[in-house]
């Protein structure tokens, strides 16, 4: 284990015991992202939704994850508006936004940052500090915009959640179509979340045959938060689904990663046994440790399977070619794998 990894793990443990100051909590709420979100909310659904929007193919975890630990906030490097405009990823992100919503060309960049060259985040708002706001989280390796948060684009007197289900879907469809392209081929599901603090809807857009949503969206107040997941189909030879659960319901976000025959062989465990262990509140990392298997071994196995599938999909023409080397693809997928294997299913508190 490198000294950097030892230091990082030690700081993570220390951070978990710290109480987050209100100022930093507010910043977390405004800039949650696929790379930083790891810890699950332990108090309210509101906190879970603030940091836990299901996200994106490489870096963003899923609805099961909540706001980042304090130490992870320190890994972000602030960027000025001028730096964003000359940065390769920042410039490309702005160009995509401007094509989708030309009106945003007049918006001000009010905040921007970079996470170790892996993710670039940009927040823009109408001049004057009020009104429309949009946040973009872009994968620094693949250049994919993995997370879009649109705030205050509707009149204040009528929040999005006051609209009919069809009207909400139309608003979300419009945002996804503008940022990502036509979604007519996707199957759609919508449900209201159990959130006593604020009315919240979750919308899933899934390709036929896939267990993981391609896009997952949360609508709350006057905010639409879209995460690009790029759902994969659960392997046909693996029948266990919903390895994790959220609010007592199967949560399929990790299935495409953990339904891996090589992982089961490494851990010397069956899919059903893995699901049973996860249901006890253990993480894959903890299960592996109990079998004398290191975290890095688990990451390597899952990452290789995912990259092999990506390359095969590119060769078959099922997905666009990324023009990335095998090493680059492995580097890009590792943070997402880490999110999955460190996650734990919340277990009911014992009174």
Token pair 């909590």: residue: 25
Please name the residue ranges forming H helices in the chain.
3-16, 22-30, 45-51, 70-73, 81-86, 88-100, 165-180, 255-258, 261-267, 271-279, 284-289, 295-316, 326-342
CA-based nearest residue to 193, from 225, 170, 147: 225
Element (H, E) at 251: strand 249-251
Average pLDDT (238-263) is 76
User: In sequence order, what DSSP letters do the residues of 219-258 get, joined into one string?
Assistant: EETTEEEEEE----PPPTT-----SEEETTEEEGGGHHHH
Neighbours of 327 (CB within 10 A): 9
Cα separations (Å) of 243 from 83, 274, 284?
A: 42, 8, 11
Q: 50-54, 123-127, 141-145, 226-230: lowest mean pLDDT where?
A: 50-54
Check: CB of residue 135 under 8 Å from CB of residue 84.
no
Percentage above 90 pLDDT, the chain = 33
Question: Residue 281, SS3?
Answer: coil
Average pLDDT (219-225) is 92
In terms of Cβ atoms closer than 10 Å to its own Cβ (0-12, 13-18, 19+), residue 349 is exposed
Neighbours of 4 (CB within 10 A): 8
Average pLDDT (225-243) is 67
What is the model's pLDDT at position 164? 92
CA–CA separation, 167 vs 162, rounded Å? 10
Percentage above 70 pLDDT, the chain = 70
Average pLDDT (59-64) is 32
CA–CA separation, 68 vs 38, rounded Å? 6
CA-based nearest residue to 267, from 247, 289, 238: 289
> What's the token pair of residue 188?
């759609």
CA–CA separation, 332 vs 59, rounded Å? 8
Check: CB of residue 110 under 8 Å from CB of residue 122.
no
Given pLDDT bands bounded at 50, 70 and 90, which one contains residue 25? very low
Global pTM reads: 0.56
Residue bearing the bigger pLDDT, 193 or 66: 193
> What's the token pair of residue 124?
């823009």
């Amino acid at each position: 284990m490198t000294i950097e990894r030892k230091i990082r793990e030690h700081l993570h443990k220390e951070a978990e015991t710290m109480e987050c100051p209100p100022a930093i909590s507010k910043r977390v709420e405004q800039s949650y992202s696929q790379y930083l979100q790891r810890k699950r909310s332990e108090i309210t659904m509101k906190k879970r939704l603030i940091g836990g929007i299901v996200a994106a193919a490489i870096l963003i975890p899923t609805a099961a994850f909540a706001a980042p630990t304090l130490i992870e906030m320190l890994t972000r490097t602030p960027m000025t508006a001028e730096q964003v405009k000359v940065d390769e990823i920042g410039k490309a992100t702005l160009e995509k936004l401007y094509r989708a919503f030309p009106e945003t060309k007049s918006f001000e960049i009010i905040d921007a940052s970079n996470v170790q060259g892996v993710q670039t985040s940009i927040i823009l708002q109408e001049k004057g500090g009020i009104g429309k706001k949009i946040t973009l989280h872009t994968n620094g390796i693949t250049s994919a915009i993995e997370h879009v948060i649109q705030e205050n684009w509707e009149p204040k007197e009528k929040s999005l959640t006051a609209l009919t289900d069809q009207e909400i879907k139309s608003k979300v469809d419009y945002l996804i179509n503008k940022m990502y392209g036509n979604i007519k081929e996707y199957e759609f599901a919508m449900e209201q979340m159990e959130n006593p603090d604020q009315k919240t809807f979750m919308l899933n857009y899934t390709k036929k045959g896939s267990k993981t949503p391609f896009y997952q969206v949360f609508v709350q107040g006057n905010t639409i938060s879209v995460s690009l997941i790029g759902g994969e189909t659960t392997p046909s030879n693996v029948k266990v689904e919903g390895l994790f659960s959220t609010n007592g319901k199967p949560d399929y976000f990790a299935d495409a990663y953990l339904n891996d025959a090589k992982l089961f062989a490494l851990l010397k465990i069956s899919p059903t046994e893995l699901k049973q262990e996860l249901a006890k509140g253990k993480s894959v990392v903890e299960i592996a440790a109990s079998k004398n298997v290191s975290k890095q071994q688990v990451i390597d196995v899952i990452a290789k399977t995912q990259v092999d599938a990506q390359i095969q999909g590119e060769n078959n023409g099922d997905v666009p070619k990324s023009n990335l080397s095998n090493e680059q693809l492995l580097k890009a997928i590792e943070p997402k794998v880490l999110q999955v294997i460190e996650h734990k299913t919340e277990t009911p508190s014992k009174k």
